Structure 1
Amino acid sequence: MVRTIAKDHDHKRAQILGAAARLFAEEGYDRASMTRIAQACGISKANIYHYYDGKEALLFDVLDSYLSRLSARICGMDLRALAPRERLQQILTEVLLAYEGADHEHKVQLNAMSALPDGQQEQLRAYQRDMVHCLMGVIRDAAPERMQKDRQTLRSVTMSVFGMLNWHYMWNPGADIPARKDYARIVTALTLDGVAGL
């Protein structure tokens, strides 16, 4: 007989993913156990296995859910009506807003992705590459005279921009929306005009 899906399945799954992300981030993937995750969710260990067949499957779903949502949000933006400079500032703002509340997932991405099999890591890195290519295209369009000729410089600039966004995320996790928007403006100016543009 096929097991029916409970009415609260999606809510329970989201609860498990949230608890797992927090424990993986705070305790480390290796030390966080399925028992501890079940306790954090207020469910039995047996119940958690209705959703995931093990910790590795849970880790993959934490990262796949996070990165697929982030990639869809960033790469799904319709920026065509904006001028090139405004496009850059808008996509940077969106990245910073998307990072809000994702501290645990971000830390797990940095520290635990390597625990997954190569095929799953490649699937997750594909989301990351999509976001890099989206931002790369926006930067290229904002500074076409230089960036269209030199792909290596374009890649270096793109990764440096992500570095600045991640710095802000790591050091200002409690920043409010106006602060995030202002930092997106600063990174846009630094990227296109250098320090003199500030």
Structure 2
Amino acid sequence: MARGRASGYDAQREAILQQAAALFARHGYPATSMNQVAEACGLSKATLYHYYRDKDAMLVAIAEGHVTRLKALVDDVAAQGLAPEARLRLLIHRIVAEYADAQNAHRVLTEDVRFLQDDDRQRVLGMERAVVAGFAEAVGALQPGLAQAALAKPVTMLLFGMINWMFTWVRPGGELDHDALAPMVANLFLGGLPALAAGHVPAIPPSNPTAEVTPR
């Protein structure tokens, strides 16, 4: 008879990923060893192998888990049937909030995806492209001229340029947190500096609580 998994197995796998993501983000994937991950988790190396067969498996789980949550977020907002501007504002708010709780995973996705095996890398990149496409669709719905000129995606990438690098300078406990920055990003993107200076921040439409993405 097959031996069942011990109680708390999934929670331990998740805890290992949190530690691995922090180490990969701090030192880089190539420079981090299984020994370092085991030590950070308070486990023996043999016990660590019980949960993940190798470092590559942890990298796949971190990158794919993060981008899966981003894709679910985009799909959830799209399903709410909001007006174009409200949809885009909520997308910005939700993705900034997700990044706030997944800064290590996001850094790993941004910097270490190139170390994945080809099949895994292509799968993760495909999901990333789907996330960008969801934002580009929202941008195009708000400004149809951009879509007609094939500029919705480039403009979307400029938006991600603001969002993706927030994790490099926003610090926990600082004067500005992600909840404060999300509407600033939306105002700057949608209205430029005059909108930001005006300080007008429309209310964020409530999300469907049953479809909320759960950050790790």
Same-fold call, TM > 0.5?
yes
What percent identity do the matched residue pairs reach? 31
Offset of 1:66 from its aligned partner?
A: 1.4
In the other structure, the counterpart of 1:159 is: 157
Tell me, yes or no, if the aligned pair for 1:164 and 1:187 is still in contact at 8 Å: no
Alpha-carbon RMSD: 1.8
| Runs of 5+ consecutive residues of structure 1 not aligned to the other structure | none
Judging changes above 3 Å, is the alpha-carbon distance between structure 1 residues 188 and 81 closer, same or farther for their aligned structure 2 residues? farther
User: 1:153-173: CA deviations, max 9, x gaps?
Assistant: 111101111111123343224
Tell me, yes or no, if the aligned pair for 1:64 and 1:124 is still in contact at 8 Å: yes
The residue correspondences of 1:1-198 to structure 2 (distance < 5 A) are 1-78=1-78, 80-144=80-144, 146-151=145-150, 153-174=151-172, 175-190=176-191, 194-198=192-196
In 1, the alpha carbon distance for the partners of 2:105 and 2:179 equals 23
Offset of 1:197 from its aligned partner?
A: 4.5
Judging changes above 3 Å, is the alpha-carbon distance between structure 1 residues 81 and 65 closer, same or farther for their aligned structure 2 residues? closer
User: 1:42-88: CA deviations, max 9, x gaps?
Assistant: 11111111111111111111111111112212222246442211111
In 1, the alpha carbon distance for the partners of 2:110 and 2:88 equals 25
Offset of 1:136 from its aligned partner?
A: 0.6
In 2, the alpha carbon distance for the partners of 1:148 and 1:33 equals 46
TM-score (norm. length: structure 2): 0.82
User: 1:101-152: CA deviations, max 9, x gaps?
Assistant: 21211111122111111111001111111110110110011011x123111x
In 1, the alpha carbon distance for the partners of 2:36 and 2:165 equals 31
Which one-letter code corresponds to 1:109 in the other structure?
Answer: L
| Runs of 5+ consecutive residues of structure 2 not aligned to the other structure | 197-216
Deviates more, 1:113-122 or 1:161-170: 161-170
Which one-letter code corresponds to 2:87 in the other structure?
Answer: R
In 2, the alpha carbon distance for the partners of 1:160 and 1:71 equals 19
In 1, the alpha carbon distance for the partners of 2:188 and 2:194 equals 13
